[in-house]
Chains A and B, each alone.
Chain A
Amino acid sequence: MLMTSGPWVWIAAMLTLAIYSFLYKDNPFYKIAEYIFVGISAGYWAIFLWWNYAYPNLFEPLAKGNYLNIIPIGLGLMMFTQLFRRTAWLVRFPLTFVLGVSLGLQIVAAVEGDMVPQLRGTFSPFSRGVLFGTADFWTSIGYIVLLVGVLSTLIYFFFSKEHKGFLGAGARIGIYFLMIAFGASFGYTVMARISLLFGRLHFLFSDWLHVIK
Chain B
Amino acid sequence: MRLQIPLTIILVMGIFTLVTSFIPAKPIADVNQMFRNWYIGIITFFIFLGTFNLARSNAEKIKKQGRDWQYSIILLAFLGIMLFFGFYRGRASTEEGQPFMYLYFNVQFPLESTMYSLLAFFVTSASFRAFRARNKEALCLLLAAVVIMLGRVPVGTAIWKGFPTVTEWIMNYPNAAAKRGIRLGIDLGLISMALRMILGIERSYMQ
A residues in contact (CB < 8 Å) with B: 2-3, 8-9, 11-12, 15-16, 19-20, 22-23, 31-51, 53-55, 57-58, 68-69, 71-73, 75-77, 79-80, 82-83, 89, 92-108, 110-111, 114-115, 118-119, 121-122, 138, 142-143, 145-154, 156-157, 174-191, 193-194, 196-197, 199-200, 203
Query: Which residues of the partner chain A approach B13 to less than 8 Å between Cβ atoms?
Result: 96-97, 99-101, 104
Chain B, range 45-88, C-beta contacts under 8 Å to A: 45-54, 68, 71-72, 74-83, 86-87
The residue that B15 contacts in the complex, of A33, A49, A104, with Cβ under 8 A, is A104
A108 with B174: CB separation less than 8 A: no
Query: Which residues of the partner chain A approach B120 to less than 8 Å between Cβ atoms?
Result: 190, 193-194, 196-197
A40 with B82: CB separation less than 8 A: yes
Most chain-A CB neighbours within 10 Å: which of B44, B105, B178? B178
Given contacts A40-B78, A41-B108, contact A187 B117 (CB under 8 A): no
Query: Which residues of the partner chain B approach A33 to less than 8 Å between Cβ atoms?
Result: 111
Given contacts A39-B79, A107-B195, contact A58 B106 (CB under 8 A): no
A180 with B174: CB separation less than 8 A: yes
Given contacts A16-B110, A100-B198, A179-B144, contact A94 B178 (CB under 8 A): no
A99 with B187: CB separation less than 8 A: no
Complex: A107 Cα to B108 Cα, angstroms? 35
B45 with A76: CB separation less than 8 A: yes
A47 with B100: CB separation less than 8 A: yes
> A43-B82, A51-B86, A80-B49 are known contacts; what are 19 more A-B pairs with Cβ within 8 Å?
A36-B78, A40-B82, A43-B78, A46-B83, A53-B40, A92-B206, A99-B10, A101-B14, A105-B17, A108-B18, A111-B187, A119-B184, A138-B169, A147-B177, A153-B180, A174-B178, A177-B181, A188-B152, A196-B113
